[in-house]
Amino acid sequence: MGSFALLAATLLSAWTLFSKELQVAQALDNGVAKLPVLGYNTWNAYHCDINETVVLQAAKLMVSLGLSDVGYKHVNIDDCYAEKNRSASGDIVADKERFASGMNHLTKQIHDLGLKAGIYSDSGWFTCQLYPGSYQNEARDAKLFQDWGFDYLKFDNCAVPYDHIIREGIVGKYKRMADAIQELSKKSGKPPLIFSLCEWGEEQPWLWARRYGQSWRTTGDISPNWGSIANIINQNSFIAWASDFHGHNDMDILEIGNGDLTHEEAKTHFTAWALMKSPLLIGTDLSTISDDDLAILKNEEILAISQDPVVGTSVTPFRWGINPDWVSNSTHPAQYWSGESQNGTVFMLINTLDEPADLFFSLTESPWIRAGRQYSVRDLWTHTDNGTAVRNFTAHAVPPHGVVALLLKDAGDEPPNAGPPCARAEWCIDRNGTLAPGA
């Protein structure tokens, strides 16, 4: 009887812990950032050279350029908005010169445009530019950000306290602010701040960060060149499974409009970020953006996949192409990707070479394609219907570092005599037990 009681107590304890974990996960599924956040961030364009005029101008351009109409709703202030010291009462203080009108005035203007406002802080003593961080002030700062009118918090990973002070790993360090945000929401009755964990992929956040926030950075900082874009795609190819509703791998702020990216590279950059369900935060000076770059950011067929309300998962590689499958290569990431959507199967093909290339695949290499069926082909960049694919598809002369994005929809049974008995010959067998040719 004693052993049974001990077993029962152990099982009850385990269930209690499991139930608490479930409650934490469910608490994040509260209508905040179910889909990847679309918006603007000041860092890549301005770094520390920000003020209320710059931020408000970006917000107004989001509206006048039609970006808000296609879903970009957040205007996020990054580092360097604060005074170097907290107030006598312990609060972060907005820079009195650069944000002279105050944060409440700024967020009201942003909200009046039909947009949402985001702010930045750090899980350590200081931000990465040595402004006040939020360590040991998590509850105070979360309330301040809410009182200022912000809807979103990017939380960085600099200025880590000594071990004997923090006595936590990176998980516990981010849990502190996550707990403060959830507690504030309960007390205030307001939606929680969207919580974006910016810890650069340290300690595998794709395994744990969805407990605490709605997105998590997966790599170090992006740069406006093809090498950086290819490297980030490569690193994320192995963890693309982690994105789903309410929790997304964050591949970093977009560089479209910056640096020396070619038009094709910019399209690949945007397509990969969107179809892999990363947040899409514009990071260029919108007052000087080109029509071509603006058209990339406003591709509504690509954005529809990003913002699919029915399917929250990312495209994933079904074949790496140049490299053997599951081999990491920072200059030649996976080339052949597919995923589900509410309207069909999405394919992304990337030419990682420095010269044009044909990209060929068999439809049933993707797990989302049915054998024995034919599929209509929609090109999400040319915005054209390109006939019907049976068994195979070839994208011809894809430009260097270019991309092809397709939406395939089931168009019925494939025609008679479309090819061998099985598109994939392995273990293809007649009901009488005879292996098909090539099996």
Answer yes or no: 291 catalytic: no
Task: Find the catalytic residue in 95, 179, 221, 379.
Answer: 221
Q: What is the DSSP string of 198-256?
A: -STTTT-GGGTGGGT-SEEE-SS---SSHHHHHHHHHHHHTTGGG-BTTBEEE--S--T
C-beta separation of 139 from 183 below 8 A = yes
Task: Find the catalytic residue in 79, 122, 141, 156.
Answer: 156
How far, in Å, CA of 234 to CA of 249, rounded? 13
Structure tokens at 94: 């907005």
Structure tokens at 372: 């024995």
| Contacts with 3 (C-beta within 8 Å, 6 or more apart), sequence order | none
Could you give the C-alpha distances from 276 to 282, 298, 311, 374, in angstroms and in order?
Answer: 16, 17, 12, 25
C-beta separation of 249 from 278 below 8 A = yes
Answer yes or no: 112 catalytic: no
C-alpha closest to that of 56 among 127, 95, 112: 112
| Contacts with 352 (C-beta within 8 Å, 6 or more apart), sequence order | 230, 321, 322, 331, 332, 333, 335, 401
* Residues labelled as active-site residues: 156, 221
